[in-house]
Amino acid sequence: MVLKAFFPTCCASADSGLLVGRWVPEQSSAVVLAVVHFPFIPIQVKELLAQVQQASRVGMAVLGTWCHRQQEPEESLGHFLEGLGTIFSHEPWLQLCRERGSKFWSCKAIHRQVSAAPDVPSEDQVMLIFYDQRKVLLSQLHPPTVVSDHQDGDTMASTGGLAVVFDTVARSEVLFCSDQYDEGPVRLSHWQSEGVEASVLVELAKRASGPVCLLLACLLSLISAASGCRLWKLWPLPFIRSKLSTCEQLRHRLDHLTLVFSTQKAQSPAQLMRKANMLVSVLLDVALGLMLLSWLHSSNRIGQLADALVPVADHVAEELQHLLQWLMGAPAGLKMNRALDQVLGRFFLYHIHLWISYIHLMSPFIERILWHVGLSACLGLTVALSILSDIIALLTFHIYCFYVYGARLYCLKIYGLSSLWRLFRGKKWNVLRQRVDSCSYNLDQLFIGTLLFTILVFLLPTTALYYLVFTLLRLLVVTVQGLIHLLVDLVNTLPLYSLGLRLCRPYRLADKPSALQ
């Protein structure tokens, strides 16, 4: 008969002692959880197993002995190991031994009660299977069913394969609470026996996280209450807030921080993973913002940007003036309506003149404005990028005005031409019923309609050209802002924590149903 023994890799270098774990008779397998070191008192070992069994509801027993011959001489443990089998009396009794100076192991499973001769115990073959307890605990692949042992009289849950191993290790966390420096009567070796003392800072951080999260949650609730005040709902504040990317990003960050520092426990692993992704995203955002802040305030780069902003604005205005002068002539050899072309060109040139005057009026305050904007980077890189998007929108406001004027004028002409075209066809638009109905027109109406249609048709190329040029300029600005918003959304929504687990610890993201099937 072949028996399977699941042995933890962390116990391969442990001192000689007892194998503590759970026996699964249906699968003829033994799950080793820890090694009890010599010296010990048997009654204290039994009391420890009873406490663990009561807390975890998993049948614990002493499965056999473990002998590390590189650390202990064989003759000093021979008779003692044989006597332990009569004290704990488990069937079968495992005897695992690591040979001196070799990588080979000696594995035996002895049956004393079923032996034909009382002095000659029968032996079974043992298949030794190594597993990592830390990965098993972190993967959380065990089903949420209560598994009990036949030794306690309970009914075994219907789980098969590796699910029993996962469930046994996961429910035996009480056994892993002691380390090698504990002053208890029983000293164990398991996956955490070498690392519990190193996690003191982690435990202190866990203890302090509750009050810190409560304090931050109260602070965020006050900020949320202040942002929901009726004063912010007075016109035109809601309109301005909806147009500014900074306000939208601050609102998103407030929602993210409220979820991250919430005192409510996560209801599911998906919600816990979402909170972890948000926390890592916020930390990365703040770290990148601080790096940007240090870069801006070193070597007087803010002053250099402020000095270069006005010449850049003058250069852009000069290029726009050249473009309008080109449109006021004969662009690409097209025949334009000279009167309308001159009116539109002078109208837009006057807007550029007003905008340049405004920029020169604000030039003494630009450096101070950029300095305060740079301080906002401590809130995160996304906030700084949102402010940059708003600054671009303000600096190109004249281009937006040109686009709106050209679009409105073009739409009015298209609407007039479509209405006059229905006049030639003997139709009209019924406003009450929202449909096109037949209509009879007299001679004067047809004459005036023909005259207006001719005027609009000859003026349409000039209007369409201005609309096309300003639409392309507006599209260029929107593309730049879109790239900035794409970077902001990437930082906000990229699951960095999940990607890190996928690269470093993929077993943490293993699918439960597929892993158990």
Per-residue confidence in pLDDT tens, the chain, 517 aa? 678 888 888 887 777 788 888 888 888 888 888 888 877 777 888 888 888 887 777 788 888 888 776 555 444 555 565 566 667 777 788 888 876 656 667 787 777 665 444 555 566 778 888 888 877 776 654 444 444 444 443 434 434 567 777 778 877 777 777 554 455 667 777 776 655 444 455 556 666 777 777 787 788 788 878 777 777 777 777 878 888 888 888 888 888 888 888 877 777 777 888 888 888 999 999 999 999 888 888 878 888 888 888 888 888 888 889 988 888 887 877 778 888 889 998 999 998 988 888 888 888 888 888 888 888 888 889 999 999 899 888 888 889 999 999 999 999 999 999 888 888 888 888 778 888 888 888 888 888 888 998 888 999 999 999 999 999 999 999 999 999 999 999 988 888 888 888 888 776 665 443 333 3
From 336, 346, 331, 344, select the one nearest 458 (Cα to Cα). Answer: 336
Q: How many CB atoms lie within 10 A of CB 141?
A: 21
**How far is Cα 188 from Cα 192, in angstroms, rounded to an integer?**
10
Entry pTM:
0.62
Give phi and psi for 3, each to the nearest 5.
-110, 145
Spatial contact of 96 and 68, defined as CB atoms under 8 Å apart: no
Spatial contact of 423 and 405, defined as CB atoms under 8 Å apart: no
**How far is Cα 111 from Cα 317, in angstroms, rounded to an integer?**
96
Whole-number Cα distances in Å, 381 to 81, 125, 386, 437: 65, 62, 9, 58
Q: Could you tell me the two tokens for 303?
A: 């002053």
Q: Could you tell me the two tokens for 436?
A: 């096109």
DSSP-H helix ranges across 264-337: 269-296, 301-327
Spatial contact of 67 and 96, defined as CB atoms under 8 Å apart: yes
Q: Could you tell me the two tokens for 486?
A: 């794409």
The boundaries of every CATH 3.40.140 domain in the chain are 2-195
Positive or negative: CA dihedral 365, 367, 370, 375: negative
From 19, 128, 24, select the one nearest 84 (Cα to Cα). Answer: 19
Give phi and psi for 13, each to the nearest 5.
-105, 15
Spatial contact of 186 and 44, defined as CB atoms under 8 Å apart: yes
Give phi and psi for 146, each to the nearest 5.
-85, 115
3 state SS of 36? strand
Whole-number Cα distances in Å, 201 to 102, 255, 330: 39, 29, 76
Give the start-end residues of each E strand in 354-503: 427-430, 435-438
Q: How many CB atoms lie within 10 A of CB 152?
A: 11
Determine which helix (DSSP H) or strand (DSSP E) holds 64, and give its type and residue range.
strand 61-68
From 70, 47, 394, select the one nearest 186 (Cα to Cα). Answer: 47
Q: Could you tell me the two tokens for 447?
A: 């004459």
| HSE-up (13 A, CA, CB side) for residue 104 | 1
From 300, 344, 371, select the one nearest 462 (Cα to Cα). Answer: 344
Fold of 2-195: Cytidine Deaminase; domain 2 (3.40.140)
**How far is Cα 276 from Cα 284, in angstroms, rounded to an integer?**
12
3 state SS of 67? strand
Whole-number Cα distances in Å, 328 to 323, 340, 475: 9, 9, 22
Q: What is the pLDDT of residue 241?
A: 80
